[in-house]
Amino acid sequence: MPDTDRTAVLFPGQGSQTDDMRDMAEDVRPDLVALARDVVGEDPFDRVDDATRFQQPAIFCASVAGFDMLDVTPAAAAGHSLGEFGALAAAGAIDVEDALRLVALRGSVMDAAAQEAPPGGMLAVLKGKPGQAETIARAADVVVANDNAPGQVVLSGPVEALDAAAAAAEREGLRAMRLPVSGSFHSPAMEPATDQLRAALRDVEVRRPRFPVLSSIFARPFGHVRLELALALTHPVRWRQTLHALRDAGIDRFVETGPGKVVTGLVRRTLSDVEAFAVEPEGARA
């Protein structure tokens, strides 16, 4: 295992589910899988492709299981949106059971907000130069939801406005790809979801983390955990900037806890001089 003094552990976000993530979660953290069934009301792994409220707790369970497989204390951690809950739980800032309950609530209120708002979605704009996707977003009256890596920016907003943004991107020779999500996440459309999450966060004990956990909306260590987790519903994920902040702090090895290898790919696209790999059930490197 890499030198923990220079290693950061990364927790993936929504959309990173894999077919084998249930096996990893049940093998390593059957207690969390059982709790997920209780708080969701059914098995979230059975319906992981159906809705946000199932996908988020399932990915959380698998990610925590992946971290437990590492059996290390890293120098730092970060999570991509949803992944922040796993990172904070791994660092001991929030009890893992409390974090799972918050994640289940988060997925539920985000689903509800998406259903109550006008039809919305998210659009990945690929292969653009710096600032190009942001210009397209302003012209189409949508927002930047994720700055994931060089040439990979995700926009969020109403369906018709995203169609206009996609057409503009293609006119400029970029690739535009709609994401399979049910709402305008990381945008003002999620504001109705924040009140319930804030209320639940007030009842959760927050402690000093065992290692720094960076906020993916501010690209710096969490300062006010409850406030920043709630703000993340309506603010963009600055993942590219978060990776640079970790690298600037001396991190040169990045381990993704799983499921999947999405975050590992973003690290490799963003930072050319670091090592990045993903935890797999057999412990192999990606």
Biggest CA–CA distance in the chain, Å, is: 51
Q: Which residues contact 64 (CB under 8 A, 6 or more apart)?
A: 25, 29, 32, 86, 89, 90, 96, 257
DSSP secondary structure string, 39-87?
HHSS-GGGGTTT-HHHHHHHHHHHHHHHHHHH----SEEEESTTHHHHH
- Catalytic site residue from 108, 186, 187, 235: 186
Backbone torsions φ then ψ of 65, nearest 5 degrees = -60, -40
Q: What is the C-alpha separation between 25 and 29, in angstroms, rounded? A: 5
- Catalytic site residue from 16, 63, 80, 81: 81
Active site residue 272: no
3-state secondary structure of 16: coil
163-172 exposure pattern, b = at least 16 Cβ within 10 A, e = fewer: ebbbebbeeb
Beta strand ranges found along the chain (DSSP E): 7-11, 76-79, 120-126, 143-149, 152-158, 175-178, 213-215, 220-221, 253-256, 275-278
Residue type, 144: V
Active site residue 81: yes
Q: What is the C-alpha separation between 56 and 243, in angstroms, rounded? A: 22
Pairing of strands 220-221, 213-215: antiparallel
Q: What is the C-alpha separation between 159 and 193, in angstroms, rounded? A: 20
Residues identified as active-site: 81, 186
